[in-house]
Amino acid sequence: MTWETRDDIRNLAIIAHVDHGKTTLVDAMLWQGGIFRDNEVVAERVMDSIDLEREKGITIMAKNTAISYRGTRINIVDTPGHADFGGEVERTLNMVDGVMLLVDASEGPLPQTRFVLRKALELGLPPIVVINKIDRPDARPAAVLDEIYDLFIDLDAEEDQLDFPVLYCNARKGTCRRSPDAAEETLEPLFAEILRTVPAPRFDPAAPLQVLVTSLDYDDYVGRLAIGRVVNGRLRKGQAITRCARDGAQTPARVTLVCGYDGLQRVEIEEAGPGDIVAVAGLAEIGIGETLADSDDPRPLPPITVDEPTITMVVGVNTSPFAGRDGQHVTSRKLKERLDRELLTNVSIRVETTDTPDAFRVSGRGELQLAILVEMMRREGYEMSVGKPEAVTREVEGRVHEPMELLVVDCPEEYIGVVTQKTGTRRGRMTAMVNHGTGRVRMEFSIPSRGLIGFRTEFLTDTRGTGIANHLFDSWQPWQGDIAHRDTGAMVADRSGRVTSYAIEHLQPRGELFVQPGDEVYEGMVVGENARENDIDVNITKEKKLTNMRASVADEAVHLVPPRLMSLEQALEFIRGDELVEVTPKVHRLRKKVLQAVWRR
Ligand SMILES: Nc1nc2c(ncn2[C@@H]2O[C@H](COP(=O)(O)OP(=O)(O)OP(=O)(O)O)[C@@H](O)[C@H]2O)c(=O)[nH]1
Ligand SMILES: [Mg+2]
């Protein structure tokens, strides 16, 4: 077989640890690639187009864009850097021929840098290293470059993979340098390096059509779009094809539309060839990892594989007395349909049935990934109840094994004590400690995934917001033993009604409350945290015998401690095994699984 190449195309993915500046660099590349008019108003981090991405300031889904540079089309995939979305990076690496590895000039390589680089090296993708945020006052580019070399060696990179080009960027300003003290230039050297380092797509001219579907999208006019790379052959509008599903099933289909990318736009094209990244309409049923193949000679491509889920939780219908007040979709059938739909687009999520028809076990790569799924569903009008996130376990040679993570902590020296103590109670073992000599230390731990549930919130409080903690799945190890979860009980409402300030005033000395006057509660709802270990049933709706109105108003202003308002993630971390989070489009509430007090004892 003789290979041919498409010299007018380059396909690359931008990979990095979270927040190292991928999406910001894509902005600058789009501007300098002439995608926007000079006076056009464009949002910062324009590729982070999902509402939740903008709110949280992180990328959640990998996305495609394209620019044209000196007659060559450069298809760029921006990927998320948060560990929970690692599956997104894994799937997109299947459509590119090279990667740009960004590393923060001050932070250096962090756990997710290791993960994404390992995946790229395994696929033999040549990297361009970009040391970004070179403008940071604490930038230490020379030391960071050494750490990057160490990382490559540690990951068993081949000789030629060690020969990577390095550029120094300020993504925010859209500039780059060839060495840390060279003159500042536009991104021109970066574009030139992409053409040199990323190989042009290679294909077999004799092979029939094969398109690997790596992503899905939806368009109001044309419906579902399958996005992927044409590996071999040609694809035209109107063409009859065969859809090869992951389970081996083959069904005929017809392409109604073929689009290419130009900046942020999809543009209709007549025909696409090998190496092109296309969006294809006409396939009502299609999932990620499937192949669009020739109708006469269908040859499925190897399926996309990603790492296993590590965290799991049960998502069920909302059974609270307030069910159906806010949401449009409340039945288990609706819930099931929605979760099944997620499976088509999200390769790193797993959904299983449980022993009740009203609940499903949903597993993913981390609590943030699962919380984001729940958040997306509530915004689409779903109501549900969600159980405590737990580690996935598996049996290896007759013993229960659990996922372990590499945890890297960076914090001021004075917090070494509290951090080692807190990780210790969560069954973490310190494996390395480096003192930068700057007053900050870097510590590495091996810790069970379940030990990290709820860790972040506590860690930020313990280090007064100055610590950075990152983790990465490491390996499956024998069960590490019990980890004490919350050592406090719950204050549970013993009847339904509205919360009164009078009741709060009397209950607040016993713990922290989650509700405020006027909130509606029901029997079995968790309204606060009891400072002691046991749960207590409380009447949070108790009215004062009103003898003097004015005096009671004055009381309120003086005595009420503001309630603790938890985010959805915090609520999920907080609950115990016998508790649930009720999620509706408008609110989330904590509750006991069993609502009636008489059945709980
Ligand atoms: N000082 C400085 N800040 C930068 C630079 N590049 C990016 N930033 C900032 O770093 C933060 C994170 O940037 P993003 O582009 O969202 O990072 P990302 O890698 O896409 O993050 P994820 O997609 O969530 O992994 C933003 O506040 C940027 O403004 C840079 O070169 N210099
Ligand atoms: Mg991003």
Q: Is residue 136 lining ligand 1, measured as CB closer than 6 Å? A: yes
The residues facing 292 across adjacent strands are 211, 243
183-187 mean pLDDT: 94
Q: Whose CA is nearest to atom 7 of ligand 1?
A: 21
Q: pTM (2 decimals)?
A: 0.86
pLDDT tens, position by position, 290-302: 999 999 999 999 8
Contacts of residues 483-486 at CB distance under 8 Å and 24 or more positions apart, as own/partner, are 483/425, 483/426, 483/427, 483/448, 483/450, 483/451, 484/425, 485/454, 485/576, 486/574, 486/576
Task: State percent of the chain over pLDDT 70.
Answer: 98
Token pair for 550: 């004015």
- Mean pLDDT is highest, among 12-16, 486-490, 561-565, for 12-16
Q: Is residue 59 lining ligand 1, measured as CB closer than 6 Å? A: yes
Cα–ligand 1 centroid distance for 147 (angstroms): 20
394-413 mean pLDDT: 92
Q: Please give the pLDDT value at position 304.
A: 83
Q: Are 228 and 292 in contact (CB under 8 A)?
A: yes
The atom of ligand 1 lying closest to the CA of 18 is 25
pLDDT tens, position by position, 268-312: 999 999 999 999 999 878 888 899 999 999 999 988 878 889 999
Token pair for 317: 């219908």
- Using CB atoms within 10 Å of the CB of residue 142, give its burial: 0 to 12 exposed, 13 to 18 middle, 19+ buried: exposed
Q: Please give the pLDDT value at position 163.
A: 92
Average pLDDT over the chain, rounded to an integer: 91
502-524 mean pLDDT: 94
Q: Is residue 18 lining ligand 1, measured as CB closer than 6 Å? A: yes
Q: Does the pLDDT value for residue 353 go beyond 60?
A: yes
Q: Is residue 139 lining ligand 1, measured as CB closer than 6 Å? A: no
Q: Whose CA is nearest to atom 11 of ligand 1?
A: 19
Cα–ligand 2 centroid distance for 211 (angstroms): 26
The pLDDT confidence band at residue 12, using thresholds 50, 70 and 90, is very high
pLDDT tens, position by position, 574-595: 898 899 999 999 999 999 999 9
- Pairing relationship of beta strands 265-268 and 210-219 according to DSSP bridges: unpaired
Token pair for 337: 């349909």
Q: Is residue 21 lining ligand 1, measured as CB closer than 6 Å? A: yes
Q: Is residue 19 lining ligand 1, measured as CB closer than 6 Å? A: yes
Residues 6+ apart with CB under 8 A from 219: 225, 266, 281
